[in-house]
Amino acid sequence: MLFWKNGRADTLTIRRAHVVDPTEKIDEILDVTIEDGVITRLGPSDPSRLEHRVVDGTGLVLAPAFVDPHVHLRTPGREDEETIASGTAAAAAGGYCAVLAMPNTDPVVDSAATLGALVETARREAEVQVGFLAAITRGQRGEELTEMAELADAGAVAFSDDGVPVASAGLLRRALQYASITGRLLALHCEEPTLSRGGHVHEGRVAAELGFAGYPSLAESVCVGRDLAIAAYENQPVHILHLSAKESVELLYRARAAGLRASAEVTPHHLCLTDEAVRSLDPNVKMNPPLRAERDRAALVEALRDGTIEAIATDHAPHAAHEKEVPFEDAPFGVTGLETAFAALYTHLVRPGLLSLATLLERMSAGPARIFGIERPRVAVGARANLVLLDLAREWRVGERPFRSRSRNSWLLGEKLRGAVALTIAGGAVVFE
């Protein structure tokens, strides 16, 4: 289900790093030895055998590499904004060993032929592993189901119409029933179009003052409620994309408490910003769903902490500069995030004491891997090395070094962040340092 160019298998030892793997319950200074891409030794390294490469991890944190369940690689169709090569290079720079790409490309990934071409490209040029979601409906038009069984056989990791909701409840129900034969998850973009219509900004005081059409949190929560009810009726698992509203969190909490296999993700920007940021009228804070109120942000952080939300997803959405260099209302929705996610969350949530480092690491790695049934990156002897070395002391300014992404529509441009990725090992190979 995951594809990449899968070249080298490296041999190296990372010495005296602070190893943190919350799932494996490791939180101590250790040497980690990797031979031919596989972790072979945890603990004091054998100095006599250190003819291979040694990385000094003193003062650094070594953790399972990140998994991003929601990125847009813009391929096929908008290779000027991102390619599989550039998007996965950005992922490597952000500490990720795997990303899941959304199918709202041009053409939409709704046939085995389109998916097959992507898989081939990924095998040629992906720096880290990529999973491709396929569309739920043909052309994401919300009318007819895609050939899900064939798409699953062709390697689809899950199904989503991300970018647009499955507007018809009846069709979503059929999709849930039918997808059950594939064993793949449906990842749902929850938006009631008759409520969000025309909205650019969260419906609240900021939108009112700036004169924007409001996109109420109700537009999300009413759809989350509907979709969870359908999933519960059909007893099928669902994943809710980019949760943004407090009411949605409450619905998810209740559904999970009732035993539904429902998961959700939240983006760094919804965790760090509120609609107050929109006062800048910077198109790089325009995304769907929109930044919401402080009560929503606080609810998202709390849900991330207590595990109601199991995953952090960047919703990395590259856009060409000329498309974002327009008045706010004319700009497309979406911001990049792969290269800044850890630093943004470490700076805005961990350092102020709102979230523990261990929880952040879990929600960026084991959480999303578990939801989508992909191999969990872990620090354990015998495991393929998917690791990230983090320098928590380093300060850097976003944009001071060129992005590896082809686009630079980051909501953090110019901001000073604390915490940087020093080294990424994906699938046993060093892919970034």
Partner 1 sequence: MTRIRLVQDELRPPGPPSRRHLLSIADLDRDDVERLLGTAQSFAASLERHVKKLPTLKGHLVVNLFYESSTRTSSSFELAAKRLSADTLTVRAAGSSVDKGESLKDTALTLGAYDPDVIVIRHPHVGAPQLVARVTAAHVVNAGDGTHQHPTQALLDLYTLRQELGRLEGLHVAIVGDVLHSRVARSLVEAFRLVGIRCTLVGPPTLLPRELPAETTTDIDAIRDADVVYVLRMQSERMQPGSCYVPSLREYSARWGITPERLRPGQKVMHPGPMNRGVEIDPRVADSADSLVTTEVRSGLVVRMAVLYDVLTGGPVGVRALAAAEVA
| Residues that are catalytic | 315
Shortest Cβ distance from residue 178 to partner 1 (Å)?
5
Number of residues in contact with partner 1 under rule CB under 8 A:
16
CA distance 420 to 373: 28
306 binds partner 1 (CB under 8 A): no
237 binds partner 1 (CB under 8 A): no
Of the candidate residues 38, 50, 117, 149, the single one contacting partner 1 (CB under 8 A): 149
Of the candidate residues 47, 170, 352, 353, the single one contacting partner 1 (CB under 8 A): 170
Q: Which of 313, 291, 296 is nearest to 250 (CA)?
A: 296
Provide φ and ψ at 124, rounded to 5°: -90, -40
3-state SS assignment for residue 82: coil
147 binds partner 1 (CB under 8 A): yes
Shortest Cβ distance from residue 138 to partner 1 (Å)?
8
Q: Which stretch binds partner 1 (CB under 8 A): 140-148, 192-200, 216-224, 376-384?
A: 140-148
| Binding flags for partner 1, 100-139, as an x/- string (CB under 8 A) | ----------------------------------------
Q: Which is nearer to partner 1, 174 or 256 (CB)?
A: 174
Of residues 180 through 199, those in contact with partner 1 by CB under 8 A are 180-181
What one-character DSSP code corresponds to residue 316? B
Q: Which stretch binds partner 1 (CB under 8 A): 123-131, 174-182, 335-343, 422-430?
A: 174-182
Shortest Cβ distance from residue 173 to partner 1 (Å)?
9
Q: Which is nearer to partner 1, 159 or 215 (CB)?
A: 159
CA distance 72 to 83: 9
276 and 252 in contact (C-beta within 8 Å)? Answer: no
Question: Which tokens belong to 192?
Answer: 């009631």
Of the candidate residues 50, 117, 145, 380, the single one contacting partner 1 (CB under 8 A): 145
CA distance 275 to 97: 32
Q: Which of 283, 175, 298, 186 is nearest to 241 (CA)?
A: 186
Of the candidate residues 56, 143, 294, 433, the single one contacting partner 1 (CB under 8 A): 143
Angle at CA of residue 310, ends 410 and 64, nearest 5°: 75
Q: Which is nearer to partner 1, 147 or 329 (CB)?
A: 147
CA distance 391 to 343: 10
**SS3 labels along 222-261:** HHHHHHHHHHHHHCCCEEECCCCCHHHHHHHHHHHHCCCC
Question: Which tokens belong to 296?
Answer: 């929503």
232 binds partner 1 (CB under 8 A): no
Note the residues at the interface with partner 1 (CB under 8 A): 143-150, 170-171, 174-175, 177-178, 180-181
